[in-house]
């Protein structure tokens, strides 16, 4: 059995076994990511300070704008369920980088860090990458419309 077939099976399982409360969790996840993006935009100097003190200081300006854009656009896409898996694929490296930055700069158990938030969001992103957006999403509506047009 090849990898593509296995991934398709996992996606189909996620589509069939998807309770409605998971849609609410996905919407809340998207809103939380969007709010985090707004906070980054409002306090971009703090993010620049973190990046300038890290190993990627030369790329700080580019990374800052990429992170803010990914949070804002990805949060909206995830919350409405449009291109959900693609948005999640773009979010995963940002949150992985966030986790890595916090561990290397402040330590794993530092007080008042966003490490816990980043880990929870990262795990939820992986969960929704597997299980998909669910029936209360633009993706599901577009798929239903496509299936209806085929008939």
Tally of structural domains, the chain: 1
Q: What is the extent of the structural domain holding 144?
A: 17-150
What pLDDT does residue 20 have? 81
**Does 4 reside within a domain?**
no
Per-residue b or e along 83-102, where b marks 16 or more CB atoms closer than 10 Å to that residue's CB = bbeebbeebbebbebbbebb
Total-model pTM: 0.78
Phi, psi of 112 (to 5 degrees): 65, 30
**Does 137 reside within a domain?**
yes
What pLDDT does residue 106 have? 52
2: left (phi over 0), alpha (psi -120 to 50) or beta: beta
Is there a contact between 44 and 38 (Cβ–Cβ < 8 Å)?
no
The rounded average pLDDT for each run of 10 residues, N- to C-terminus, in the chain (151 residues) is 71 72 93 92 73 63 81 96 93 86 54 74 93 87 85 70
What pLDDT does residue 58 have? 64
Compute the distance between CA of residue 91 and CA of residue 84 in angstroms, rounded to an integer: 10
């Amino acid at each position: 059995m090849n990898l593509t077939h296995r991934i398709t099976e996992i996606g189909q399982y996620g589509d069939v076994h998807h309770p409605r409360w998971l849609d609410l969790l996905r919407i809340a996840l998207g809103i939380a990511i969007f709010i985090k993006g707004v906070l980054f935009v409002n306090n971009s100097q703090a993010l620049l300070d973190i990046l300038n003190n890290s190993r990627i200081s030369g790329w700080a300006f580019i990374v800052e704008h990429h992170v803010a854009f990914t949070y804002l656009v990805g949060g909206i896409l995830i919350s409405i369920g449009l291109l959900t898996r693609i948005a999640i694929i773009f979010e995963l490296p940002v949150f992985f980088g966030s986790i890595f930055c916090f561990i290397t700069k402040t330590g794993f158990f530092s007080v008042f860090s966003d490490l816990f938030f980043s880990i929870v969001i990262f795990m939820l992103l992986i969960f929704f990458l597997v299980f998909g957006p669910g029936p209360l999403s633009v993706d599901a509506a577009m798929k239903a419309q496509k299936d209806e047009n085929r008939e």
